[in-house]
Amino acid sequence: MGYGMMPMLLAADGDVDFSIHHLLGYEFMGTTVYLTTSHVCMLIIIATIMIFALVARKKFANAQEVPTGLQNVIEFVVEVLESFVSSAMGKHGKKYMYYVGTLFIFVLFSNISGLFGLRPPTADFGTTFCLAMITWFMIQYNNVKYNKLGVITGLFQPLPFLFPINLIGEIATPISMSLRLFGNIMAGTVMLSLWYGLMPFLAKIGIPAFLHAYLDLFSGAIQAYVFAMLTMVFVTDKIGDN
C-alpha cells in the first residue's frame, strides 16, 4: 500500500476523508517523495512527548523525597512501565525497559491522537511496518546472539520438512504485527470519518464521544499494549533460558 494509491480513496465523495494527504513533494534520488499528514502528525506527537520529557527532567532536577503533583505522575508512569516490562521479560527486563517503554508511549500517543483531530500516524502502514521491522531486527539479533547455530537448526525442528513453514513463520512476524496495529487503527479512523462525513448534523453531537471512547481510547490503548507485549514476548522467546 504505497502512497500513490491512497489519494484516490473515495474520490467520488468529498465529505468522507480519511486518506493520507501529500503536503510537500521533493526530489530524492530520482523519485518524488512526499511529506504527508502522517509525518506532520507524528512530529506533533513527538513534540508533545518531548515537551513532557523536558518538563519531567526539569522537575526531577530538584526532586522531593515525598513526591507531589507532577512528580507523582512521572513516578507512577515509570513504575507502571517498569513492572509491565519486568512482568513479561523477567530478569532481561532492565535492558529492554527503555526501548519498550518508548515504543509503548509513542504508539499509545499515536493511537489516541485521533481524539485530538489528528490523523493517527499508526493508521499509515509505513509507520507500523517500520516499528514492526525494528522489533523484527531485535528478535533476529537476539536469536543470533543467544542461539548461535541454533538459528539454522531451529528452522528444521521438529521435523526437517517443516523448514518452509518455519521460515514463513519467521518472516510473517513483522507483517502480522504491523497489519494488526494498522488494521485496528485504520478501522477506527475509517469508522469515525464515515460517521462524521455521512451522518446528519444532529448525529454528530454527543454520539461520536462514545465512538471516540471505544475506537480511539480503548482500542488504541489495547493495541499499544499488545504491540509492546508481543515485542517483549518474541524477544524473550528467542533469549530462552540463557
Partner 1 sequence: MEQITNEGLILACSAVGAGLAMIAGIGPGVGQGYAAGQGAAAVGRNPGAKGDIMSTMLLGQAVAETTGLYGLVIALLLMYANPMLSKFLSL
Among 45, 107, 224, 230, binds partner 1 (CB under 8 A): 230
User: Least distance in Å: CB of 229 to partner 1?
Assistant: 6
User: Least distance in Å: CB of 73 to partner 1?
Assistant: 22
User: Least distance in Å: CB of 183 to partner 1?
Assistant: 3
Compute how many residues bind partner 1; rule: CB under 8 A. 25
Counting contacts by CB under 8 A, is residue 8 touching partner 1? yes
| Residue among 148, 138, 40, 159 nearest 92 (CA) | 138
User: Least distance in Å: CB of 20 to partner 1?
Assistant: 11
Counting contacts by CB under 8 A, is residue 9 touching partner 1? yes
Among 32, 64, 72, 87, binds partner 1 (CB under 8 A): 87
Helix, strand, or coil here: 45?
Answer: helix
Residue 223: all three cell numbers together: 493495541
DSSP summary character for residue 114: G
User: Least distance in Å: CB of 93 to partner 1?
Assistant: 14
Q: By C-beta, is 56 or 82 nearer to partner 1?
A: 82
**34 backbone dihedrals φ, ψ, rounded to 5°:** -120, 145
Among 169, 171, 222, 237, binds partner 1 (CB under 8 A): 222
Residue 153: all three cell numbers together: 537448526
Residue 29: all three cell numbers together: 534520488
Find the angle CA(202)-CA(204)-CA(207) to the nearest 5 degrees: 105
CB 191 within 8 A of CB 213: no
User: d(Cα 118, Cα 131) in Å, to the nearest integer?
Assistant: 20
Question: Which range, of 6-14, 35-43, 47-55, 60-68, touches partner 1 by CB under 8 A?
Answer: 6-14
Residue 123 neighbours by CB distance under 10 Å:
28
Counting contacts by CB under 8 A, is residue 226 touching partner 1? yes
- Roughly how many angstroms between the first and final C-alpha of the chain, as a whole number? 40
User: d(Cα 236, Cα 1) in Å, to the nearest integer?
Assistant: 31
DSSP summary character for residue 177: H
Site for partner 1 in 164-203 (CB under 8 A): 176, 179-180, 182-184, 186-187, 190
Binding mask 89-128 for partner 1 (x = CB under 8 A): ----------------------------------------
| Residue among 187, 186, 190 nearest 16 (CA) | 190
Q: By C-beta, is 52 or 196 nearer to partner 1?
A: 196
Which residues of this chain interact with partner 1, rule CB under 8 A? Answer: 1, 5-6, 8-10, 19, 87-88, 176, 179-180, 182-184, 186-187, 190, 222-223, 225-226, 229-230, 233
